[in-house]
Amino acid sequence: MTTGGQTTLPTQRMAAPPRRKQPQAQQCALHANSPGQKLDYLYLGFPHENCQYCHAIMWTDERNNSKAKNSPPTFSLCCMEGRVSLSALKSAPQYLRDLLSHNGGKRSATFRENIRAYNSILAFTSIGAQIDYEINKTKGPYVFRISGQNCHQIGSLNPQPGKPRKFLQLYMYDNKTEEVCSRIKSLTKDKPNSKLDESILSDLITMLDRENCLAKTFRMARDRMKVSEDVQFQLHLLSERTPK
């Protein structure tokens, strides 16, 4: 990555996950969806079971031994009943856990409804792929289809003259208020969007500056540029040195 030009960072290709078997309750609902039959609303509640091996939170209907009502439930969807060893995930920051909680009130609900928008305006890179825009011009559910190599596209630390900041360039701001406004503007294209809460976004930026190693790196580059604006320098991200 340099202060001019663009490069791409290839992503690791992942195999498609195996199809999950429909829980019995969901199968009943799908079978009822036929001509002449009324489809009733089916509510499974919140997941409250725990896998005894990896402690994943599961729905009761996802258990293997669905007919054994009196024995402890076992699950294969998470770790194949202990045959797959999964490393423990790091605990999310408390602020993010509060926003994702279903007991977080209106503020939490607003965040979850617009979570993709918040994720987009905090991204460091854009997607680099050939997107098929023709596939959704016909009837049917939305389909996102790409072809060719999929990669993350990353640009210079500063925008070209006359161009607005976007993606990692937004981390070069020193003024929080200006950064928040520019991030929302980068998504809405000058159109007002009352769905995004500026205070939530501001707190998310603070959280990333405190918790995310890449955000800290770009902020460090910003501080370096402020001290010596006339000096050209390069910022290299080395995966073997980047904390996971």
Mean per-residue pLDDT, 47-76: 86
80-107 residue pLDDT tens: 998 998 787 788 999 999 999 988 899 9
Mean per-residue pLDDT, 66-91: 84
Question: Residue 122 pLDDT more than 60?
Answer: yes
Residue 131: predicted pLDDT:
87
pLDDT band at 243 (very low <50, low <70, confident <90, very high): low
Mean per-residue pLDDT, 51-80: 86
Question: Residue 154 pLDDT more than 50?
Answer: yes
Question: Residue 53 pLDDT more than 80?
Answer: yes
Please give the full DSSP string across 152-211, using - where no structure is assigned: EEE--SSPPTTPPP-GGGGGG-S-HHHHHHHHHHHHHTT---TTS-HHHHHHHHHHHHHH
The type of residue at 175 is: N
Between residues 55 and 35, the one the model is more confident about: 55
How many residues does the structure list for the chain?
244
Between residues 125 and 17, the one the model is more confident about: 125
pLDDT band at 18 (very low <50, low <70, confident <90, very high): very low
Question: Residue 58 pLDDT more than 70?
Answer: yes
- Name the strands in the sheet holding 126-131, side by side, starting at the edge strand that comes first in the sequence: 7-10, 146-154, 126-131
Residue 85: predicted pLDDT:
87
Range ranked top by mean pLDDT from 6-10, 108-112, 231-235: 108-112
Mean per-residue pLDDT, 209-225: 86
Q: Is 108 strand, coil or helix?
A: helix
pLDDT band at 76 (very low <50, low <70, confident <90, very high): very high
Between residues 229 and 172, the one the model is more confident about: 172
Query: How many CB atoms are located within 10 Å of the residue 163 CB?
Result: 10
Cβ pair 243, 237 in contact under 8 A: no
Residue 191: predicted pLDDT:
64
Give the whole-number percent of the chain exceeding pLDDT 90. Answer: 21
**Sequence ranges of the domains in the chain:** 46-82, 91-126+155-227
* Range with lowest mean pLDDT among 42-46, 129-133, 224-228: 224-228
Q: Is 228 strand, coil or helix?
A: coil
